[in-house]
Structure 1
Amino acid sequence: MKYDISNSDLFTVIQVKEERFDAALATSFCQTIEGIQSEIQPNLLLDVSEVTFMDSSGLGAMMQIYKLLRDKQIFLVGATQPVCDLFKLTRMDRLINIYDSVEEAMMRSD
């Protein structure tokens, strides 16, 4: 999995640097998050702006991270229309808020 991570006082931003978020990526994504779990700030922003395709495995990985990080706020940032549609279809958008940009998510988090 290719990604960039940055931290500030209240936010951890993980920018996924992949076009496809599918079975090939899901396991390594979960392992990455588990490996840095103790370093994640109260708000986790998952920047998926480069992801153009997500399947059920990618969605399952997001749900696994949501359960793992129950004590954190998780935001999806920069999702393309197909990814947004998948989140809405499965009602995951009720659990993980979706924002257009990292800046917008930071302003709207509480």
Structure 2
Amino acid sequence: MRYEISEKGDSTVLRIDEERFDAKLAPEFRNQIESIMGDIAPHLVLDIGAVKFMDSSGLGAVMGVYKLLRDKRISVASPQKPVQDLFKLTRMDRLIKTYDSVETALTTAA
């Protein structure tokens, strides 16, 4: 999985540099989050702007991380329309807020 992590104030931004977030990527995503759990700031922003396709496995991995990091806020930033539609269709956008940009996620969720 290609990704980049940065710290911005009290937030950790995890940018996923993959076009597909599916069954192939989901287990590795969860493993990466588990390996850095102790270093994640109180707010985790998942920047999925590069993701053009997400299936139920990808969505399940995001939900698994949501449950794993119960004591932290989680936001999704920059979803492309198909991914945004998936979040709305499954009503996941009620649990995990989605924002148009990383900057909006950082300022609105603060």
TM bucket (normalised to shorter chain) is over 0.9
5+ residue gaps, structure 1, are none
Residue by residue over 1:24-75, the C-alpha shift from the partner in whole angstroms, topping out at 9 and shown as x without a partner, is 0000000000000000000000000000000000000011000000001100
Q: Does 1:35 align with 2:35?
A: yes
Aligned to 2:23: 23
Aligned to 1:58: 58
Structure 1 runs of 4+ aligned residues shifted over 4 Å read: none
1:71 match: secondary structure? coil
Q: Distance in 1 between matches of 2:108 and 2:13?
A: 15
Shift of 1:7: 1.2
Aligned to 1:106: 106
2:9 match: secondary structure? coil
Q: Does 1:96 align with 2:96?
A: yes
Percent identity of paired positions between Structure 1 and Structure 2? 56
Structure 1-normalised TM-score? Answer: 0.98
